[in-house]
Amino acid sequence: MEQLISISGGLLYASFVIYLIATVLFAATIRDKRKEKKFSLINKLAIGTTILGFLTQLGYFITRWMASGHAPVSNMFEFVTFFGMMIVLAFIIIYFIYRLDILGVFTLPVALLIIGYAAMYPRDITPLVPSLKSHWLWIHVTTVALAEAILAVSFVAGVLYLIKNINQSKSTARTKWLEIIMYSLFATLAFVIITTAFNIADYEATFEYEVDNNQVEIEYHLPAIFGPKDGELLTEDRMDAWLPTPEWMRGAEAPRKWNTLVWSLAGGLVLYLLTRLILRKRIGAALQPTLKKVNLQLLDEVCYRAVAIGFPLFTLGGLIFAAIWAQEAWNRYWGWDPKEVWALITWFFYAIFLHLRLSRGWHGEKSAWLAVVGFAIIMFNLIVVNLVLAGLHSYA
């Protein structure tokens, strides 16, 4: 058993490295200066490596399932990792339809960021409480993850469309919003880097504070910029908190989560500003030349096609399967739990997307912005709803 778990962990790690290599290979395909578009060796190598990475991660998934005895999609680490894996799968599928290399250069890093983000959660195999013991749980969760992954591809295609289409010769609201998208990717990267760094350094500081008249202890793994309100530092030789966590941050471990968020946002800002200092132009402007050879219409088509596939799949997994499971576990198919409500919001949003596109002709850039907002809603549901608006589904 122990062995199986360590094999599983090794496979996940290996897949991460393989995806990194695949990203580099895809980047090499667009550096390819030759005019005529061909499916040459480098393309084959790039997609082949991606598939190898996917199979390796599938190996992680299967071995972990064998070790734990239930589908490994039952806590934050497992779900987010699986989501990353589904993004790679969605990319592979879309790649075989459209053969769009540039999509690989940008989708694989998003998958890597997400898997990196997952790795920051506790990685222990967790037991299932009775209400989670249903086949419908993993059927529901895996379908949702795949649907959201396909919608993530529409996000990437949308962002590429924006990078290519937005006029970078002067600063406008559109260039600013594009930079905000870029910044949020940097903030995620900062989160992964900072958390990993302090993990390796084994940083630990314990605070004691009061919740509902009980003294509780909370363990920080990052230096506390924001500590618990009226908290007391118990560990010696550690930096005491500078500021108290605002009161509206609620739920279990709220001060620690808030502190991590602030670290990530600040770290993201540093990374972003450094990059801009080096590039001496907007990130969007710096990326624009890499898309010279890409057909805008094709990006628009990929962006829409991904929604056309993702929307019914999301309806099936996120609403219908979810309802069947809720009916079995809590005898009501819908309970207005925050997580459920945000799934409904996601569904409403993509319904709006389709109507604006099909009935009111919102193609091209408008459609691309909508794809970005849609993905922002999905990430909001995955991160903020879990951390702040905790409900029945909150894994963390």
Partner 1 sequence: MKCGHCGTENQTGTAICNNCGQPLDNKNETKLLNMRYDGAAIRSKTRNKSFVDKVWNFFSSVKIGVTLIAIALIASALGTVYPQQMYIPPTVNPSEYYEQEYGITGLIYYQLGFHELYSSWWYMLIIALIGISIFIVSIDRGVPLYKALKNQNPKRHPSFIKRQKLLSHTVHVTQEEKEQFIERLKKKRYKIYEKDGHILAEKGRFSRWGPYVNHFGLIVFLIGTLLRFVPGMYVDEFLWIREGDTAVIPATNQEYYIENHDFIMDIYGQDEEDEKFADALEQTGSLVPKNFQTDVTIYKDDAKDVVGAQPELQEVQSGSIRVNQPIKVAGLTLYQDSYQQNEFQSMSFKLHEVEDSDEVAIAELTVDLTDPNKEYQFDNGYTIMLNEYFPDYTMENGVPRSQTNFPRNPGFVFFVYPPGETDPEVSFLAIGQNIPGDETNNYKLSLTGFDVRDVSGLSVKKDLTLPIVAIGAIIFLIGVVQGMYWPHRRMWIHPQENELLIACHTNKNWYGLTKEFEKLTDGTPIANVVDQETDTEMEPDK
- Residue among 51, 316, 376, 396 that touches partner 1 (CB under 8 A): 316
Counted residue by residue, the chain has a size of 396
| Three-class SS state of 362 | coil
Query: Which helix (H) or strand (E) element contains residue 276?
Result: helix 254-279
Burial grade of 52 (CB within 10 A; 0-12, 13-18, 19 or more): middle
DSSP string across 13-67: HHHHHHHHHHHHHHHHHHH---SS----HHHHHHHHHHHHHHHHHHHHHHHHHHH
Q: d(Cα 91, Cα 85) in Å, to the nearest integer?
A: 10
Query: Which helix (H) or strand (E) element contains residue 137?
Result: helix 135-165
Instruction: Please identify the residue of the shown chain whose CB is closest to the bound ligand HEM.
Output: 351
By a kind-dependent CB cut-off of 5 to 8 A, residue 52 interacts, out of ligand HEM, partner 1, none, with none
Which amino acid, 362? Answer: W
**Is position 296 an interface residue for partner 1 (rule: CB under 8 A)?**
no
By a kind-dependent CB cut-off of 5 to 8 A, residue 127 interacts, out of partner 1, ligand HEM, none, with partner 1
Q: d(Cα 141, Cα 164) in Å, to the nearest integer?
A: 34
- Residue among 351, 373, 384, 392 that touches ligand HEM (CB under 6 A): 351
- Residue among 291, 338, 372, 387 that touches partner 1 (CB under 8 A): 338
| Three-class SS state of 207 | strand
CA triple 184-186-188, angle to 5 deg: 75
Burial grade of 346 (CB within 10 A; 0-12, 13-18, 19 or more): buried
- Residue among 1, 55, 355, 361 that touches ligand HEM (CB under 6 A): 355
Nearer to partner 1, 242 or 330 (CB): 330
Do residues 136 and 328 lie in contact, with contact meaning Cβ atoms separated by under 8 Å? Answer: yes
Quote the least distance from Cβ 46 to partner 1, whole Å: 22
**Is position 96 an interface residue for partner 1 (rule: CB under 8 A)?**
no
> Which of the ranges 29-37, 194-202, 346-354, 370-378 carries the binding residues for ligand HEM, by CB under 6 A?
346-354
**Is position 354 an interface residue for ligand HEM (rule: CB under 6 A)?**
yes
Nearer to partner 1, 42 or 316 (CB): 316
- Residue among 3, 169, 331, 359 that touches ligand HEM (CB under 6 A): 359
- Residue among 171, 230, 312, 373 that touches partner 1 (CB under 8 A): 312
**Is position 125 an interface residue for ligand HEM (rule: CB under 6 A)?**
no
Residues lying near partner 1 in the complex (CB under 8 A) are found at 1, 5, 67-69, 122, 124-127, 129-131, 133-134, 247-248, 297, 301, 308, 311-312, 315-316, 319-320, 323, 327-331, 333, 335-338, 341-342, 344-345, 348-349, 351-352, 355-356, 358-360, 385, 389, 391
Provide the binding-site residues for ligand HEM, judged by CB under 6 A.
348, 351, 354-355, 358-359
